[in-house]
Amino acid sequence: MFQSGSTSEIEEFATIAYEVTFPDGTTIFNTGERGDALYFIFEGAVKIHRASAELAIRRTGECIGEMALLNDKPRIASAVIQGKTQLLKIDREDFQRVMQRKGGLPYHIMKMLADKLREDTEARVEAARTEERIKHELKRAREIQRAMLPEKEPKLDWLEISASFLTAEEMGGDYYDYLQLSPTTFGIVIGDATGHEIPAGILVAMAKSCLHTLIRIDASVESVMQRMNEMVYETMKTMKRKLLMSFCYVILDTTNSTLTFSSAGHPPPYHYRQRIGKLDTLESFAYPLGVRRNIVYQAQKVQFQPGDIFIFYSDGIVEVENDKKEPFGYERIEQTIAESAPKIANVEELKSAILQKTYTYCHNLSFTDDATLVVLKILP
C-alpha cells in the first residue's frame, strides 16, 4: 500500500492501525451490522459472502469493510477468516479523523480504496453479465422442458384426465406423458430426474426419446422399465455427475378393466374406489432408474370400475414446506383425496382441491422443486 509513501506517512498509519488475529473460520463481521472498522489484510485471506453465496476472496494487501465506513450504511456482506491470517484494523473514529487531515496518508488510503472500488465494480458488472446469461439459458431450458410435456389432455370416451405442472424457481426434472398404445390400451408415465438445472433436463429429454422408441417395439410394463433403466444407467456412466430418475409406468386396459403398473422409486399412486369409498396406495418398491444395471421391475395389476379415480404425483407435492420447514407429507394428501373425492363432479375439481391444500399449507410460498399432479377418472 505504501511503497511510494514517505516514512512519516507509514509512521502515521502505524499510530491508527493495530494488529488483530482470529482463528480459522472466525466471522469478522456479519451482513446488516453497523460498520465499526475497516481491515487491511497483512497476511492470509478472508472470504466475503452473503447468505450461502461466496462473493470474493480477499488476500494479502487488500482491505475489507471500508464501504460501511464511507457510506455509513450497514454491512452488505459477511467476512470469514480463511486459514492463518493477520489483519490490521482501523476503527471508525480513527479512520474518519485521518481522512479529515491534509497530506499524503489520506491520499494513499483513498487511492487504494478507489482502485478496490474499480475492481469491485468491474467484478460486479461481469457477475451481472454471467447471471443474465445463466438466466437466459435456464429460461430456454425451461421452454424445452415444457415442450416435452403434453400440450393438452387427451379426449377419451372412457377416461377423464386433468394434470398440472408447477415449476420451481430453478429448473427441475419432472416429466409426465400420455401414450395411446392401442385402441383399448392407454399409457401414462410420470418421472423425476434427481437434481436441478440443465443436467436434469437433459436426462428427461433422453428419457422421453427412449420411451417413445421403446413402446413401438414392446410397450409392456416389464420391458419398458428394464430398458429405461439400462438407458439411464449407461448414460450416467459417461457423465461426471451421477443422476438418477424416479419413474412410474402405467397401462390401462379397457378390455379387462385392469391397470398394470411398476414404479422405480417414484411416490406411490393412489386408487380411490368410488363404489366403496376406499383409498388404496399402489405400492411398488424398486430402485430408481440408473442405480444398477440389471434390475427386474415387477409389474402389478389392479382392477378398476367406472367412477374409480387414480392420482399420480411427483415428490414436489408432498415435500412442499410451510414456514416451519415441515413438509406437506403423504398423510395430508391422502386426507385431502379421501375428503374431496366423494364430492367432486370431475377430476379438475379434485386436482384443484389437492393443489389448494398445498398452497394453503405453504402459505403460497414458492415451490423449491417442480410439482406434477395427474388425476384420472374411469367414466361409465
CB 265 within 8 A of CB 292: no
pLDDT at 29 over 50: yes
Domains annotated for the chain, with CATH where assigned, are 7-129 (2.60.120.10), 148-378 (3.60.40.10)
**165 closest CA partner among 369, 337, 378, 376:** 369
**13 closest CA partner among 138, 102, 98:** 98
Q: Report pLDDT digits (tens) over 110-128.
A: 556 656 665 665 666 676 6
Q: At residue 252, what is the residue type? A: L
Q: What per-residue string of b and e applies to 2-26 under the rule 16 or more CB within 10 Å gives b?
A: eeebeeebeebbeebbeeeeeeeee
Percent of the chain with pLDDT over 70: 82
Q: Report pLDDT digits (tens) over 73-105.
A: 788 889 999 998 999 888 888 877 766 665 555
C-alpha neighbours within 13 Å on the C-beta side of residue 18? 6
Q: What is the pLDDT of residue 2?
A: 45
Assigned C-alpha cell, 184: 383399448
CB 348 within 8 A of CB 162: yes
pTM of the predicted model as reported, rounded to 2 decimal places: 0.67
The more confidently predicted of residues 364 and 266 is: 266
Which range (140-144, 216-220, 253-257) has the least confidence?
140-144
Q: What is the pLDDT of residue 288?
A: 95
Q: At residue 1, what is the residue type? A: M
| Confidence tier at 10 by pLDDT (50, 70, 90) | low
**311 closest CA partner among 292, 289, 330, 288:** 330
